[in-house]
Amino acid sequence: MLINYAYKLRPNITQSNKMSGWVDMLRSTYNWSLADRITQYNQQFFQGDYCDIRTRGEACPLTCFVSKNGASGEPWKDTKVDKDGKLKNPRRSAGDIQITGLPELKKARPWFSEIDSTVLQQNVKRLDTAYKNFFERQVASPSGEGRGFPKFKNRSNFTSFTYQMGVKVQGSKIYLPKLGWMRFFNSRVIPVCFTIKAATIRKRQDGWYVSIRIEDKTIPDYISKPLDEVNSILGCDMGITKLVHLSDRHQIDNPKFSTNKKAKRTLKIRQRRVSKKLKGSKNRKKAANKLGHFHKKITDKRVAYQWDIANKIVSKSVDAIALEDLNISGMLKRCKVKTDETTGRFLKNGQSRKKGLNRAISDASWSELILKIEYLAAKQGKVVIKINPIHSSQECRNCGHIDKSNRDGEKFICTECGYHEHADIGAAKTIRDRGFKIVRGDSAKLGVNHQNAQKVSPRSMSKRGEFGNLCKQDIKSVKS
Ligand SMILES: [Zn+2]
């Protein structure tokens, strides 16, 4: 079994300065590697095969971003031929080539040799992972959810590095290669048989943290129930006014950690204090620190609350939990720009209204909650079923009539048969029933998995009562 334990580190000043320096250097190599791969790709694209003057290596532009600037200049991993006359390891990945280029980097920039070599390698592999995620999305859902093309990193989104080897823990001291022994808050003891696989050091607002990946091969992974043994399902409908509605009529409040009145006010004041200070001044830094601390406080509160409610949801006596498969990045999209055709001036497109909604969606952070529920459910052997939430709050549970006018705020009244109930609890029940359909196997219509998920577009979400995002023109087009 593979698990992660996170601790807060207590580095001394030399160590923390060193780590900050490492993060900056690693970020520059990360960005360089990314730029290198993009350049190589463009060369291939414009000049065809055998374009590279230095190596005359061939690369397929669509499947691999082979950079041929590596130290050895050899795009082939291994020239040995096996019995059938095929190359054993035909092609090195871009990551392999860039890793072999690292000694070259250390020669040219000697200060890089103070960084542990596995950290440098993991940094390149991190880019590999980013590419892998991007290609996976292209295959799985070309238009839908997933991660985009790898991005260039700046100080705010590149704050960590990973050790692959050499990390040791003794009592409340941890050994990090090239940084030495460092004290840490030993908040939970690593179980005896577990060995350390990797360690990621991360800088947060209030200091450095380490996440240690530990493994014990003798302990099996969590096993979840087979689908045909599922007898009871709990449906969860995520929302803004209430965070979760459950199909057993329970509701879970949404404290709106960053969008309630008080937090909004504090954020506004602290943000203004930062922007009023002179750029590059010490006072601006101090003010920015204060703002950051407040942001961290909000995050910590949200995480604690989510673990709490995830525990409550999972510990209910059911075999499975049905959740919506939400396309949250799609929901967070901005409204389209509207221009007046004759004058070319911009017209109101409803974005200022959408902004508040976007913030509320981000604040609710459903995807984080879903991850926590999945983790805890796996721990207890329960199944998590992801269902397609399309029309889940517009469908009548009595006659199946689907109409957006069925719903009026919190009330649900069917325009066909007059059936009425609480709209969100009804939606949670619909989600539960769709879960049952998947379990029983007739999931042809409603069942979704990540491959053929029929995602809810931001437009169809906007037709739900609580997501008011209809511009005037939209309303007209709906009516006509
Ligand atoms: Zn009805």
Looking at the predicted structure, is the pLDDT value of residue 458 above 80?
no
**For 138-152, 207-221, 338-352, which range has the lowest pLDDT when averaged over its residues?**
138-152
Residue 479 has what pLDDT?
39
Looking at the predicted structure, is the pLDDT value of residue 71 above 60?
no
Distance 417 CA to ligand 1 centre (A): 4
Distance 477 CA to ligand 1 centre (A): 25
Distance 403 CA to ligand 1 centre (A): 10
Distance 432 CA to ligand 1 centre (A): 18
Distance 173 CA to ligand 1 centre (A): 64
Looking at the predicted structure, is the pLDDT value of residue 476 above 80?
no
Looking at the predicted structure, is the pLDDT value of residue 160 above 80?
yes
pLDDT band at 144 (very low <50, low <70, confident <90, very high): low
Angle (nearest 5°) at CA 443 between 461 and 467: 10
Looking at the predicted structure, is the pLDDT value of residue 118 above 90?
yes
Looking at the predicted structure, is the pLDDT value of residue 361 above 50?
yes
Among candidate residues 52, 324, 325, 433, the one labeled active-site is 324
Among candidate residues 52, 116, 363, 424, the one labeled active-site is 424
Residue 230 has what pLDDT?
86
**For 10-24, 86-100, 175-189, 398-412, which range has the lowest pLDDT when averaged over its residues?**
86-100
Residue 472 has what pLDDT?
35
Average pLDDT over residues 361-388: 90
pLDDT band at 87 (very low <50, low <70, confident <90, very high): low
Distance 177 CA to ligand 1 centre (A): 66
Residue 341 has what pLDDT?
85
**For 108-122, 218-232, 234-248, 266-280, which range has the lowest pLDDT when averaged over its residues?**
218-232
Q: What is the dihedral of CA 320, 326, 328, 334, to 10 degrees?
A: -160
Which domains, ranges and CATH numbers included, belong to the chain?
A: 2-215 (no CATH), 229-258+300-479 (3.30.420)
Residue 143 has what pLDDT?
52
Residue 329 has what pLDDT?
76
Residue 117 has what pLDDT?
92
Residue 72 has what pLDDT?
39
Distance 396 CA to ligand 1 centre (A): 5
pLDDT band at 326 (very low <50, low <70, confident <90, very high): confident
**For 79-88, 110-119, 319-328, which range has the lowest pLDDT when averaged over its residues?**
79-88
pLDDT band at 146 (very low <50, low <70, confident <90, very high): low
Q: What is the 3-state secondary structure (H, E, C) of the chain?
A: CEEEEEEEEECCHHHHHHHHHHHHHHHHHHHHHHHHHHHHHHHHHHHCCCCCCCCCCCCCCCCCCCCCCCCCCCCCCCCCECCCCCECCCCCCHHHHHHHCHHHHHHHCHHHHHCCHHHHHHHHHHHHHHHHHHHHHHHHCCCCCCCCCCCCCCCCCCCEEEECCCCEEECCEEEECCCEEEEECCCCCCCCCCEEEEEEEEEECCEEEEEEEEECCCCCCCCCCCHHHCCCEEEEEECCCEEEEECCCCEEECCCCCCCHHHHHHHHHHHHHHHHCCCCCHHHHHHHHHHHHHHHHHHHHHHHHHHHHHHHHHCCCCCEEEEECCCHHHHCCCCCCEECCCCCCEECCCHHHHHHHHHHHHHHCHHHHHHHHHHHHHHCCCEEEEECCCCCCCECCCCCCECHHHEECCEEECCCCCCEEEHHHHHHHHHHHHHHHHHCCCCCCCECCCCCCCCCCHHHHHCCCCCCCCCHHHHHHHHC
- Identify the residue with better confidence: 432 or 217: 432
Distance 391 CA to ligand 1 centre (A): 14
Residue 84 has what pLDDT?
64
pLDDT band at 82 (very low <50, low <70, confident <90, very high): low
The pLDDT tens digits of the residues spanning 4-51 come to: 999 999 999 999 999 999 999 999 999 999 988 887 777 666 554 444
Distance 233 CA to ligand 1 centre (A): 23
Looking at the predicted structure, is the pLDDT value of residue 281 above 90?
yes
Residue 152 has what pLDDT?
96
pLDDT band at 288 (very low <50, low <70, confident <90, very high): very high
Note if 424 is an active site residue.
yes
Distance 297 CA to ligand 1 centre (A): 46
Looking at the predicted structure, is the pLDDT value of residue 443 above 80?
no
What value does the mean pLDDT of the chain take?
Answer: 81
126-130, 439-443, 448-452, range with greatest mean pLDDT: 126-130
Looking at the predicted structure, is the pLDDT value of residue 247 above 50?
yes
Residue 444 has what pLDDT?
43
Residue 308 has what pLDDT?
95
**For 42-46, 239-243, 285-289, which range has the lowest pLDDT when averaged over its residues?**
42-46
- Identify the residue with better confidence: 273 or 145: 273
Residue 258 has what pLDDT?
93
Distance 446 CA to ligand 1 centre (A): 19
- Identify the residue with better confidence: 452 or 31: 31
- Identify the residue with better confidence: 323 or 445: 323
- Identify the residue with better confidence: 286 or 145: 286
119-123, 344-348, 398-402, 435-439, range with greatest mean pLDDT: 119-123
Percent of the chain at pLDDT above 70? 79
Among candidate residues 96, 116, 128, 237, the one labeled active-site is 237
**For 97-111, 142-156, 301-315, which range has the lowest pLDDT when averaged over its residues?**
142-156
Residue 13 has what pLDDT?
95
Residue 303 has what pLDDT?
94
Distance 414 CA to ligand 1 centre (A): 4
Owner of token pair 């840490």: 184
Distance 479 CA to ligand 1 centre (A): 22
